[in-house]
Structure 1
């Protein structure tokens, strides 16, 4: 049986709760990712910030604030004030089917992978889609 450890990403971008919304936006843009785990100084998982979270707290473009002003505002918002802390996590030995079910139920788009409290990876919807494509190809699915 496949486990989360077989599919998870272990090279992660992480931030501290004292980092700002501006920093999170910059990392997401640069790395082209939608989720950034928040850790403490010991790499213990404490929360997550997602692209969806950022959209929910963004100042409307109708407000007349330009990009520079928005960046200034974002630089003053520490992640501890906006990160999600009620996030489901999984272990590397969690069965993929169970992780997929958890992902569907919680609708975060990702699951942090922990060993105890220490963040060791992340598994995303995109990881499951890549696996699905590979399985379909192996079963003689669609020709590319």
Structure 2
């Protein structure tokens, strides 16, 4: 049986609660990701910052704010101010099918993967399941 540890991403981009929204926006843009786990210095999971959180903290384009002004504003806001700390998590040993149901039924974009109660060891996202689906479809096509 496949487990979360078989599919999760282990190479993570994380921030700490005092890091700025500007840093978060840069990481999301450069790495093309939509979720950043927030951790303490010892990799204890504290919360999650999503692309949607960043959008809600962005001043509307209708306010006629240019990107450099938005960057200055973002530089002064710590991610701890807008991160979600009430986040559903999973463990490396959770069956993959159970994790898929959680993502689908609750409309989560990701689940942080936690070990020993609070240590962040990975993240599993909708994109991970799409990659798995593509691999399975390719394997089926080759067996025809």
**CA drift at 1:139:** 2.0
Deviations 1:37-85 (A, max 9, x none): 0001110111011111111221000101111110010111111110011
- 1:51 maps to 51
Deviations 1:71-120 (A, max 9, x none): 01011111111001111101011001111111123323111001021000
- 2:128 maps to 127
- 1:75 maps to 75
SS where residue 74 of structure 1 aligns? Answer: helix
- In structure 1, runs of 5+ residues without a counterpart are none
- 1:11 maps to 11
TM-score, reference length from structure 1? 0.94
- Consecutive aligned runs of 4 or more in structure 1 exceeding 6 Å deviation: none
- 1:37 maps to 37
Q: CA RMSD in A?
A: 1.4
Between Structure 1 and Structure 2, how many residues are aligned? 142
Q: Distance in 2 between matches of 1:68 and 1:42?
A: 33
- In structure 2, runs of 5+ residues without a counterpart are none
TM-score, reference length from structure 2? 0.94
Q: Distance in 1 between matches of 2:106 and 2:70?
A: 30
Q: Is the 8 A contact 1:17 1:40 kept in 2?
A: yes
